[in-house]
Amino acid sequence: MAGWANQPAAGGCDRAEGEAIGARVRWKHHRPVEEIVKPLNESDIRSSIVNASRGEIERMPLPGLHEVLWGEREYLGWRDHQAPLRGYLVHWIDDRPVGIMLRAASGSMRPGISAMCSLCRTPQPSGQVTLFSAARAGQAGRDGNTIGTYICADLACSLIIRILPPASPGQPDPTEVVARRAEGLLNRVRSFTADVMKPA
């Protein structure tokens, strides 16, 4: 390993590594780097959208990309302030960014009840979760075929899952809780965009 001596200590690792503690081996699972949203630029985002017309993609406003903490995003999501029912989410599938245009239902859920986002599964007051529909990619979408699902209204699941639960005896380590939530979110976002892209 002498050849590695000058390597800087890596903050992340792309594989699981075992750590021997006495007779026990504790496995630490590091999230593969490629599973986290890599930085996206404007042209990545515009070319990623699979279910909108060219004109809609040109008119799409972008969020402030320089403020994004990319290592803490399972997907990048934002609402359109000029067209309040519009929203967008973009995430990486291998080396390809895949983006979905969403449309929020105009009616809102009954106030006072609690609702759950289908992507991050965080229970919240109903006003903070919205029914969004996504046109399917390709001809099916042009024919009006859509998929609906409840998602955090601000499309910021990655922020809400990182609110740490209080540490308490007998409870799992809060950072492990966040890692588990992140993994679940990533899997569900992938399955949602796969559905949108699936030929009907």
Catalog residues that contact Zn ion under the rule CB under 5 A: 117, 119-120, 152, 157
Min separation Cβ 160 and Zn ion, Å: 6
Instruction: Closer to Zn ion by CB, 124 or 146: give it.
Output: 124
Residue (12 or 165) nearer to Zn ion, CB:
165
Output 51 or 130, the one with its CB closest to Zn ion: 130
Min dist CB 100 to Zn ion, Å, is 14
Rounded CA-CA distance 40/90 in Å is 9
CB of 156 to Zn ion, least distance (A): 8
Residues sharing a CB contact under 8 Å with residue 166, sequence separation 6 or more, in sequence order = 174
Q: Could you give the CA distance from residue 191 to residue 154 in angstroms, rounded to a whole number?
A: 20
Residue placing its CB nearer to Zn ion in the complex, 104 or 157: 157
Q: Report H helices in the chain.
A: 42-48, 54-59, 138-142, 157-160, 174-197
Q: Pull the structure tokens for residue 191.
A: 């399955």
**Least CB distance from residue 80 to Zn ion, whole Å?**
18
Instruction: Give the bridge partners for 24, in sequence order.
Output: 21
The least distance separating Zn ion from the CB of residue 119, rounded to whole angstroms, comes to 5
DSSP string, 8-52: PPPS--SS-EEEEETTEEEEE-PPPGGGSPPP--HHHHHHHBSSS
Q: Which is nearer to Zn ion, 102 or 141 (CB)?
A: 102
C-alpha span between 133 and 103 (Å, rounded): 5
CB of 48 to Zn ion, least distance (A): 20
Judged by CB, which is closer to Zn ion: 74, or 101? 74
Instruction: Indicate the Cα dihedral angle 148, 46, 40, 134, nearest 10°.
Output: 0
